[in-house]
Amino acid sequence: MTKIFLHPLPIRIWHWVNAFAFILLILTGAQIKLGNAIHFFSFHTAVKIHSWLGWILVFNYFIWVVYYFSTGNIKIYIPPLHHPIEFAKKALRQAKFYGWGIMVGDENPHHSTFENKFNPMQQVSYLMIMVALIPLQLITGMLLWDPKLFEPIVNIAGGLQIVDLIHVFLWIFFSAFIIVHFYLATLGHTPMAHITAMFTGYEELHDDHGHGHGHGEHGNKHETEHSGSHEHTEKSSH
């Protein structure tokens, strides 16, 4: 069985800190907002956890920024917009795969390479999430964290109610997203394939097809420890 390296250590750390923080932030957020309906934590505890994790997420975001921009690998997030029609066709094919192909046992149309890690649908959604939605969630969170300290920015935004509205809408989006995200992560050639790869960095290729499913944020036949400058595949004993 072929084992390929997909996720360098900084990205694995970033991903799991993100995952852990996001889940707890969503839950504590729910506790803060729906305090009379749910009772996971006391308000005070929920706010404490939410504030701590919010800041952890801010610093965590910088791990992502520093890694992807310093290595230049950020290009895997950028859709090839200079070929819009081709890109749209690819995206459509990918959607068809998830909607029907996967049911009838078609091969995943996306064959990942290290330079092209994400399928078109992932590329668009992760780009949006990483450069717009997460920063917006972090910034609105910071404004809510101390509205007086950031008063000028709060005023530019139109008031604290507006800031909160953005923060809550994104909370709703991420709550739904994280469920779908977790499900899609189980759509590798085995349910645990993508998830294991996110821990070890390596994903087993499905030998039947010769390529990994390009799903999730994983699925790549290239191995790059840090710089991605050299590539090789590795045969695993299992």
Sites of contact with other proteins (CB under 8 A):
30, 32-37, 42-44, 47-48, 51-52, 55, 98, 102-105, 144-149, 158-165, 168-169, 171-173, 175-180, 183
CB closer to other proteins, 6 vs 46: 46
Is residue 216 within 8 A of residue 195, CB to CB? The reply is no
Nearer to other proteins, 128 or 149 (CB): 149
Strand ranges in the chain using DSSP code E only, listed in sequence order: 2-5, 202-204, 234-235
118 CB-contact burial (10 Å; exposed 0-12 / middle 13-18 / buried 19+):
buried
- Least spacing, CB of residue 180 vs other proteins, in Å: 5
**Which residue lies nearer to other proteins by CB, 69 or 173?**
173
Q: How far is the CB of 184 from other proteins (least distance, A)?
A: 8
- Give min distance, CB of 168 to other proteins, in A: 5
Question: Cβ 32 to other proteins, closest distance in Å?
Answer: 6
Whichever of 78 and 162 has its CB closer to other proteins, that residue is: 162
Report the largest interatomic distance among the alpha carbons of the chain, rounded to a whole angstrom.
60
CA distance linking residue 177 with residue 161, whole number of Å: 24
> By C-alpha distance, which of 187, 184, 217, 218 is closest to 202?
218
Neighbours of 132 (CB within 10 A): 11
